[in-house]
């Protein structure tokens, strides 16, 4: 019984050796090596082109976000200017304005150089000509150290909007009414 199993196992082992030999020859054949080299070269080319496409799309999104941001900033400044011309602001807003104005300006200056560099690099990668926007530097007015000056506008006219202020009708103070 053991001898029969040994014969079956020997035949089985011969089949395994024959199959391993056939596979070995197939793997190390010159045709197989050439086919795998072509497949690896093509796979590498596909990966490289995919990475380049992803990089260009990233650069495009970055440039679009920067352009939209510049437009939104300009739109916000225009809205702010329009709003400021509508009427006078409360006194506390005027006191806080210089702080926020200077803090915002310093943050803007600090981030603009790095953003400009990144935007220029991304535009160069895309082959797009990028012209940085001209800075709109606010004209600073000298601050008076004394008390505020009186309103030089004529009586009844708002200096900010140029509209005529309506005053309530004068009260009738005559005593003859009864």
Give CA–CA dist 58/60, Å, rounded.
5
Residue 133 contacts residue 122 (beta carbons within 8 Å): no
The torsion defined by the Cα of 78, 79, 80 and 85, in degrees rounded to 10, comes to 90
pLDDT digits (tens, 9 = 90+) for 43-98: 999 999 999 999 999 999 999 999 999 999 999 999 988 888 887 555 555 555 55
What is the percentage of the chain residues whose pLDDT exceeds 70?
53
For the chain, what is the mean pLDDT?
Answer: 74
More confident residue, 4 or 119: 119
Of the candidates 106, 115, 114, the one whose C-alpha atom is nearest the C-alpha of residue 70 is 115
Q: Which whole-number Å values give the CA distances from 69 to 63, 163, 170, in the listed order?
A: 10, 35, 52
Give CA–CA dist 121/123, Å, rounded.
5
164 DSSP β-pair partners: 157
Residue 160 contacts residue 88 (beta carbons within 8 Å): yes
Give CA–CA dist 60/129, Å, rounded.
12
More confident residue, 75 or 163: 75
Residue 36 scores a pLDDT above 80: yes
pLDDT digits (tens, 9 = 90+) for 113-134: 667 777 777 777 777 776 666 6
- Rg of the chain, C-alpha, whole Å: 40
pTM over 0.85: no
Q: Structural domain boundaries of the chain?
A: 2-126
Residue 33 scores a pLDDT above 80: yes
């Amino acid at each position: 019984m053991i001898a029969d199993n040994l014969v079956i196992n020997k035949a089985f082992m011969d089949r395994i050796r024959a199959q391993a030999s056939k596979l070995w020859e197939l793997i190390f054949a010159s045709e197989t090596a050439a086919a795998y080299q072509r497949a690896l070269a093509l796979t590498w080319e596909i990966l490289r082109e995919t990475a380049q496409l992803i990089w260009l799309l990233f650069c495009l999104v970055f440039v679009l976000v920067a352009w939209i941001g510049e437009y939104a900033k300009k739109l916000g400044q225009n809205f702010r200017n329009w709003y400021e011309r509508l009427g006078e602001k409360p006194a506390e807003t005027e006191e806080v304005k210089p702080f926020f104005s200077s803090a915002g300006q310093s943050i803007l200056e600090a981030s603009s150089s790095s953003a400009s560099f990144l935007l220029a690099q991304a535009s160069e990668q895309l082959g797009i000509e990028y012209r940085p926007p001209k800075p709109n530097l606010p004209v600073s007015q000298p601050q008076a150290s004394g008390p505020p000056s009186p309103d030089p506008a004529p009586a009844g006219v708002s200096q900010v909007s140029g509209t005529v202020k309506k005053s309530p009708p004068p009260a009738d103070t005559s005593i003859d009414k009864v």
